[in-house]
Structure 1
C-alpha cells in the first residue's frame, strides 16, 4: 500500500502506467484479459486434475441435484458438508452445466481466481496504490494460492474473494458519495461473501483499516457507525460456523483442547509461518507437520514476542507512514480465524494450510508491490522491467510445478507423505483409495501406520476393520470396528461395517442393532437399509425386510444388490413368480456382476427353470472364465438339459482349471 502521512498531505504516488490505463474501459479490459491468460497458463496442469479428498462432499450429491435439493441446500443445515449455501448453489449450477466432469470445475475455479485478481487490481487503483496491477499479478501467480485454485473444494475461497472485493469497491463508493444504493450494494456483496465462506466476516474490520490508512483517523459516526450492522452480521455468521464446525464436523475434543496461553503462542508461530510462505514460497505441502504446542518451548515465545515487537515497530513508524501497519493489520486480522483462537477441523492434523491465507495475503501483496514499484522507479528502465517481469515469471513457474501435486488424489497423498512422513491423514486417505481400488492388502500397512502416529483414531480403526473384512479376515476385523464405534458413537459408516462383519460371522441377530444405529444416525443411507433387510431375511423375517429394500431403492434407484435382495425376500414370502421381475431388473442394472447372475441362477434352479438358469450361468462363466466352480455349475445344468457335448466341455474346463474339484473316476 502507498505511504500516507498524518501531519501533511501525502506526496503524489509514483507514476504507475497500469493505473493510467485503468481510467479507460478498453485498456482495463485488455489488462484483465492478459492477467487471465497468465493465470490459465500457470494453472494448465490443474486442468488435467481429478477430484481429491473432500471434493465429493462439495460437488453436488445425487439427492441434492433437483430443485428440491437446491431448497435443502439453503434451508437444511447438514444437507451439505458446511453451511455455505451460496457456494453450494454455485456447485449445484455447475453440476447442471457439466455434471461430474472435473475439467469444468477446474476451469471455473481458475476463472474465479483470475477474476478475483482483476478485482484486487481495481481496488488498489481506486485507492491509488502504486503498482496496483503488479500486486494483482503477484497474487494471481503466487504458488501459495495453488491449494485454493487446484483443489475444487476451495472454490469457497475464490468465489468468496470476488464477493469480498466487490463489497470493498461498493463500500468505497459509499464512502465517497454516501448514497444509500452504494451502501445497499456493499451490504449485499458482504452477505454473499458470508454465505460463501465465513472468514469474510473480517471485511468490516478491514474496511476500517483502509479508511484509517487513507485519512489517518477514524470518525465514529462517519466511519464506524455504518459498519456496526456488518460487525453484528459477521459475528453471528462466525458463531454459527464455529457451532457447525464443532457439532457437525467434529472440531472438538482432546485434540483441540489448548489453553489461552497455548493459543497465543500458536498464533505467533502461525503468523510467521504464513508470512514466510508468502515471501519465500518453498516446500509447500498439502498437509504440513502438526507442531507440538508446549508453553515452555522458548522458540514459541520468541515467535510471539517477535510478532509483538514487529507490531510495536509498525505502530511507532506509523507516525511517518501508515502503509506497513495497515498491511500488517489486514494480514493478521484476516488470518485471525486461522491463527489458533478458533477451532477449525483441519487443526486435527495441522495448524496451518496454504488455503487459510488466500484472502489474507492481499494486504502483503499490496505492500510488497507498492514498495518494489516505488523503489525501482529510480532504477534504469531495463533493470526495472527485468525485475518486474522476472518475479511474476518465477512465481508462475513455481505455480505450474505445484499444480502437478494435485493431478490426482494418489499423487497428492504420496507427495505429501514424501515431504511429511508424519502426515497420518495422508496415509489414511491413501489407504481408502487403495481399498476402493480393490487393494486392501496394500491399504493395511498404511492404516497401521495411521494408528501408530495417531492412536485411537476412529476412521483408521474403521478402515482397518473394513480392509480385514475385504480380505475375508472377519474375526480380526470385528474388534477394530467395535473400537471405531466406541471411539465415535456417531460414526454411522462404522456401524454399517460392523453389522456387515457380524453378518459374515453368522451373527445376524447382533447385526440388526448395528444397522439400526447406522440408520438412526444417517436416515438416508441406502447401503444400511439393504444390509438391515438382509439381516432380517436371515432371521426368517423376510416380510419385515421388504420395506428396507424398498427404501434403499428409493434412495438409490440403481442399487442392484437391493433389487436382488428384494426379489429373494419376495420369493421367500410369496414364491418365485412375483419375485422374478426383481431378479431380472437386478441383473439388468449390473450386467457385469457375476455374483448377481449366480444368485439369480440358483433361484431359477430352485424354481425348476433350468434353461433360464443355464443362461445366467453362462454369464457367470463369461465374466469369470478362470473360475472352475462356475464351469462345473454350468456343466451340471447343461447335463440335466441333455446338452451333453456342451456339458462335457464345461466338465473338462473345470477339471483343467482345478483337478481337485471333480471326484476321481470310478
Structure 2
C-alpha cells in the first residue's frame, strides 16, 4: 500500500535536502552545482507527489538549525522552490476540488473546525509515532464541533507544547523546535486546511506522516547519540536499548504487513478494527464481486448504504452486482439513485445504461452512455458499451465506430474485439472480422463468445474461402466444453460445424439436443431456427448464412 509515488517523493525530497545542505555549506566547491541539482531533484519530487510542496519550509529550517543568516540573498534562493511548491500545491487543490469532488456540504468546514481537526491530527500522528498501537488502514472519522469545549483540548495542548519547546530552547538549542516545525509543516497539506477526498470518511491516515515523521525520528536518534556521549560508561547499555527498540518496531512492522498481503485481507482487517468504516464495506464488496462472491458483495454494498445512504458509488456497485444476478429492475432502481445523487459521474451513467440495455431499453441506454462520454470523452467503458448497444440496435456503422474508439484506449480488450468482429461480419467485412476474432482469442483464449462466433462464421459463411469445417469443430468444441454443454447457441454452432464437415449424423444429434434445451428455456425463435436447420442436415445439406 506504500504507493510508489510516496517512495519516489520521499527519495527525491531527501536528496533535495542533501543537495541544499551541500549548497549552503561554505566548504563546498562550486556550490551552484548543488543548487541546480537541488532544483532538478525538487521537480522530480513534485512530479511524484505534490505534498512535496512543503519543502521550502524545510530549506529555511536547515538554515535556522545551522544558525546561518536568513537574509534577502537566502530568501531569493528559496523563491524558485517556493514558486514551484505553491504552483503544484494549487494544482493539487484544483484537482481535489473539481475532479475528486471535495465540494458541497460534506466538505463545508469552517475555519475553526479545520483548526480543531488540524490540532487533533497533529497529536494523533505524534501519538502513533511514539506508540504505534491499534493501527488500521482507515481510522474512524472524528465528530468535531466548535460547540464542544473538549474539542479545544488538543489545540490548547499544542499551544502549551509550543511554550515548553520555547522554554527548553535555551538548554537544548534549536533542534527540538526545528524537529517540531518540520513535523507540523510537512503535515500541513493533510491536516484539514485543504480538503482531501479521504476526509469524506476519515481525517487521518498513517501514510500521511511518512515524510513528516523524519523530524521527530531524527531528533530521537540524535538524542540517543547525545545520551550515549554523556554517559560514556553506560554507552553500550544505551545503544543496546536503542537497538532493542528498533528490533521491537521491526517485529511490529512485520506483523502489521500481514494485513497488506492481498487486498481482501486489507479490507477485512480494516473492518475488524473499524467496524463502522462504510468505505471498507464498499471496497470489500468490489473485491468479492470480482472474485465471484456476488451474494456477499451485495451484503457489503447494502451495509455501506445503511451507513452512508448518499454514497452513490455503493448504489451503482450494488446495481452492477444485482444485474449480474438477473435482478434487472432492482439494478435499474439503484443505478438510477446513483445518477440522481451524482448526475455527472460517468461510472454511474454507464452502470445505469448497462442495466437499461439488459432490460431491452436500448435507446435509453444509449442516451446514458452518450452522457458519460460527454463527461469523459476517453472513457473506455462508455465507448465499449455504446458499441454493444448500437450492435444490438442494428446500427452497424455506429457500433464499428465506437468499438474502434474503445480499442484505441484499450487495445487488449477481448470483448471489444469480439463486438467489433460481429459488427464487421454483419457489415460483410468478413476478412477483418476474422482478424479481430483471432485477436480476441489471442488475448483471451477461453472467450466463449469469440470461440463460438468465429466457429459459426467458419461453418456457415456464404463465402467458401472463409469456411473451414474442421477448424469450426475445434473452436465450437472448446466453447461447448467451457460452457459445460448448457449453451444452446454454442450447441447450435457445433452442430453447424459438424454439418459443414459432412458429419450430418452428429450434426442432427447435437442440433436436437440444442432444440430440446431451447424449448425448456421457452426460446421459441431459436427452437424454430434449429428445426429448420435439422431439416437441412437430414437432407445432407449444411446451413449457410445469406450473403451480406
TM-score of the alignment, normalized to the shorter chain, above 0.5: yes
Q: Which residue of 1 aligns with 2:189?
A: 337
Alignment of 1:456 with 2:310, yes or no, is yes
3-state DSSP of counterpart to 1:243 = helix
Q: Is the 8 Å Cα contact of residues 115 and 192 (structure 2) preserved in structure 1?
A: yes
Paired with 2:6 and 2:253, the residues of 1 have a C-alpha distance of 17
Paired with 2:38 and 2:473, the residues of 1 have a C-alpha distance of 71
Q: Which residue of 1 aligns with 2:164?
A: 313
Paired with 2:494 and 2:10, the residues of 1 have a C-alpha distance of 67
Over 3 Å counting, the alpha-carbon distance change for 1:633 and 1:278 in structure 2 is same
Paired with 1:533 and 1:500, the residues of 2 have a C-alpha distance of 12
Paired with 2:490 and 2:184, the residues of 1 have a C-alpha distance of 70
Q: Which residue of 2 aligns with 1:550?
A: 404
Q: Shift in Å at residue 565 of structure 1?
A: 2.5
Q: Is the 8 Å Cα contact of residues 635 and 648 (structure 1) preserved in structure 2?
A: no
3-state DSSP of counterpart to 1:287 = coil
Q: Which residue of 2 aligns with 1:251?
A: 102
Alignment of 1:474 with 2:333, yes or no, is no
Q: Which residue of 2 aligns with 1:621?
A: 480
Paired with 1:462 and 1:590, the residues of 2 have a C-alpha distance of 27
3-state DSSP of counterpart to 2:402 = helix
Over 3 Å counting, the alpha-carbon distance change for 1:621 and 1:384 in structure 2 is same
Paired with 1:558 and 1:206, the residues of 2 have a C-alpha distance of 46
Alignment of 1:485-496 (within 5 A): 485-496=339-350
Q: Which residue of 2 aligns with 1:169?
A: 18
Q: Which residue of 2 aligns with 1:237?
A: 88
Q: Which residue of 2 aligns with 1:384?
A: 238
3-state DSSP of counterpart to 1:517 = helix
Q: Shift in Å at residue 168 of structure 1?
A: 1.9
3-state DSSP of counterpart to 2:322 = helix
Q: Shift in Å at residue 222 of structure 1?
A: 5.0
Over 3 Å counting, the alpha-carbon distance change for 1:649 and 1:273 in structure 2 is same
Alignment of 1:214 with 2:89, yes or no, is no
TM-score when normalising by structure 2: 0.84
The superposition leaves residues 7-53 of structure 1 with CA deviations (integer Å, 9 ceiling, x where unpaired) of xxxxxxxxxxxxxxxxxxxxxxxxxxxxxxxxxxxxxxxxxxxxxxx
Paired with 1:470 and 1:415, the residues of 2 have a C-alpha distance of 27
Over 3 Å counting, the alpha-carbon distance change for 1:623 and 1:251 in structure 2 is same
Q: Is the 8 Å Cα contact of residues 494 and 507 (structure 2) preserved in structure 1?
A: yes
Higher relative contact order (CA 8 A, sep 6+): 1
Q: Is the 8 Å Cα contact of residues 473 and 498 (structure 2) preserved in structure 1?
A: no
Alignment of 1:394 with 2:243, yes or no, is no
Alignment of 1:519 with 2:365, yes or no, is no
The superposition leaves residues 282-335 of structure 1 with CA deviations (integer Å, 9 ceiling, x where unpaired) of 111111111111112233211111011111221233233332222211111111
Once the two structures are overlaid, the 10-residue window that deviates more, 412-421 or 382-391, is: 382-391
TM-score when normalising by structure 1: 0.70
Q: Shift in Å at residue 513 of structure 1?
A: 1.4
The superposition leaves residues 356-400 of structure 1 with CA deviations (integer Å, 9 ceiling, x where unpaired) of 111111110122122233334426344224202211111111111
Instruction: Give me the CA root mean square deviation.
Output: 3.1
Unaligned 5+ segments in structure 1 are 1-150
Paired with 2:162 and 2:206, the residues of 1 have a C-alpha distance of 23
Q: How many positions carry a matched residue from both structures? A: 511
Unaligned 5+ segments in structure 2 are 528-548
Alignment of 1:347 with 2:199, yes or no, is yes
Once the two structures are overlaid, the 10-residue window that deviates more, 329-338 or 645-654, is: 645-654
Alignment of 1:639-658 (within 5 A): 643=503, 646=506
Q: Which residue of 1 aligns with 2:384?
A: 530
Q: Which residue of 2 aligns with 1:148?
A: none
Alignment of 1:541 with 2:390, yes or no, is no
Over 3 Å counting, the alpha-carbon distance change for 1:221 and 1:644 in structure 2 is closer
Alignment of 1:299 with 2:150, yes or no, is yes
Paired with 1:375 and 1:479, the residues of 2 have a C-alpha distance of 67
Q: Which residue of 2 aligns with 1:107?
A: none
Q: Shift in Å at residue 651 of structure 1?
A: 8.2
Over 3 Å counting, the alpha-carbon distance change for 1:319 and 1:619 in structure 2 is same
Alignment of 1:288 with 2:147, yes or no, is no
Paired with 1:590 and 1:648, the residues of 2 have a C-alpha distance of 30
The superposition leaves residues 126-145 of structure 1 with CA deviations (integer Å, 9 ceiling, x where unpaired) of xxxxxxxxxxxxxxxxxxxx
Q: Shift in Å at residue 580 of structure 1?
A: 5.0
Paired with 1:538 and 1:241, the residues of 2 have a C-alpha distance of 42
Over 3 Å counting, the alpha-carbon distance change for 1:579 and 1:169 in structure 2 is closer
- Equivalent of 1:428 in 282, 286, 306: 282
Q: Which residue of 1 aligns with 2:210?
A: 358
Q: Shift in Å at residue 630 of structure 1?
A: 6.6
Paired with 1:626 and 1:234, the residues of 2 have a C-alpha distance of 62
- Equivalent of 1:274 in 122, 125, 132: 125
Paired with 2:404 and 2:490, the residues of 1 have a C-alpha distance of 34
Paired with 2:400 and 2:391, the residues of 1 have a C-alpha distance of 9
3-state DSSP of counterpart to 1:285 = coil
